[in-house]
Structure 1
Amino acid sequence: MRRLLLALPIALLPFTAAHAHDDHDHDHAHGTLGAHEHGVAKLNAVLDGNTLELELDSPAMNLVGFEHAATSDADKAKVSAVRQQLEQPLKLFGLAASAGCVEDAQELESPLFGDAAKDDDGDEHEHGHQHSDINAHYQLNCSAPGKLAQIDLAPLFKAFPATQKINVQLIGPNGQKGLETSPAKAMVAF
């Protein structure tokens, strides 16, 4: 499923390098792509033929409101509810119905879901607690990909209001680009 997304960081290196000079909030120890910043998520989107792949990487704080292991019933319920939302990508990403996109595969990963923490997910916060990220990978098959002109991220921002900005890296029929979205500017054009 990740064959297209694996090429994305390499393809967008020129954008990333140029953007890094403008971004003073990135984590120097981990580079621009590895920064963990509350309120900010990353989305990689690749449209190749009939396949649309989406990879969302977000601090857990943006989605569930905390990053610690869920031990209380309330925290466990919140994690479960967020996982259920993430399991429905067609409700989070606004795609033209005429494109006929249906989900082929998905993979959700996070220490909060009981997955082992990745090396880059175990960063110590300056206050001594662990960072936890939530990663969601989706593969969609679109019967009419030519009708897929944009992705509307407004439903994602609405579902997770603590997410203030999504940095998007996109490869589509019109080439590659990187852009920053917000609740007020939530459309991403291919």
Structure 2
Amino acid sequence: MRRLLLALPFALLPLAMAHAADGHDHDHEHGSLEPHEHGVGTLNVALDGQTLELDLDGPAINLLGFEHIATTDADKAKVNSARTQLENPLALFSLPKAAECAVEAQELESPLFEAAPEEAAATQTEHHHNDIEAHYAFTCAKPEALKTLDLTQFFKTFPGTHKIKAQLIGDSGQKGSELTPKSPSLTF
């Protein structure tokens, strides 16, 4: 399944290229297909049998309000709070209860989650564009009941995220969608 998610950006490359043509004042290239764009994240969704996987990626500023290594107690508290919230995907991503989905695995990655105090001191004068990535795997007893994935709570929890570029591979094929607080649902 992980290979399926990794192939997703390449399968939808024409869609990604079309979006790359849109300009934004805060675009920053990172050597990947997508620019680092403040307020915007990406979500890759793959459904294969009873396995549902979500890969979320976005600038740390969307979730924390900053991208630098946390050195103050207030910033450290924001990092810990965001991490705690991301560790509860069923609260952030509303799946139909009828699908009976359970979290099987999750992985969170960001330099901000792992930075040691000496790293923070070394990078304090530099501006880095740090991202936060989350990978979730669910087992759904009744995947046929998966009709939508609702991100209303995600947008409420992380109001710095204004748009999520979602890509889905499922039983009905591939599709892309832009999710916003006013249009927070992805249809399978």
| TM-score above 0.5, yes or no | yes
Match of 1:178 in 2: 176
**1:33 aligns to what SS in structure 2?**
coil
Cα shift at 1:20: 3.4
CA distance in 1, matches of 2:11, 2:3: 13
5+ residue gaps in structure 1?
117-126
Q: 1:166 deviation in Å?
A: 0.6
- The question of whether the paired residues in 1 share the 8 Å contact of 2:28 and 2:36 is answered with no
Q: Give the corresponding residue for 1:141.
A: 139
| Cα offset, 1:14, TM superposition | 2.8
Aligned to 2:10: 10
Q: Does the C-alpha gap of structure 1 residues 154 and 37 become closer, same or farther in structure 2, counting only changes over 3 Å? A: same
Q: Distance in 1 between the 2:71 and 2:61 partners?
A: 16
Question: Does 2:93 correspond to 1:93?
Answer: yes
Q: Matched residues in 2 for 1:102 and 1:155: separation?
A: 18
How far has the Cα of 1:172 moved from its partner? 1.1
| Alignment gaps of 5+ in structure 2 | 117-124
Task: Indicate the larger mover: 6-15 or 142-151.
Answer: 6-15
Does the 8 Å contact 1:45/1:55 carry over to 2? yes
| Worse-superposed segment, 171-180 or 143-152 | 171-180
What's 2:156 paired with?
Answer: 158
1:11-34 CA-partner distances (Å, limit 9, x unpaired): 21232234434x233958557833
Amino acid corresponding to residue 141 of structure 1 in structure 2: T
Distance 1:58 1:50 in 2: 27
Deviating more after overlay: 167-176 vs 23-32: 23-32
- Which residue number in structure 2 is paired with residue 106 of structure 1? 106
Alignment of 1:10-159 (within 5 A): 10-21=10-21, 23-25=22-24, 27=27, 29=29, 33-114=33-114, 129-159=127-157
Secondary structure in 2 matching 1:34: coil
Q: Which amino acid aligns with 1:77?
A: A
> Does the CA contact (< 8 Å) of 2:29 and 2:36 recur in 1?
no
Deviations 1:42-79 (A, max 9, x none): 11111111111001101110101111111111111110
Q: What amino acid maps onto 2:23 in structure 1?
A: H
Structure 1 vs Structure 2 CA RMSD: 2.1
Which segment drifts farther, 5-14 or 31-40? Answer: 31-40
Q: Structure 1 residues 42 and 129 mapped into 2: Cα distance closer, same or farther (>3 Å)?
A: same
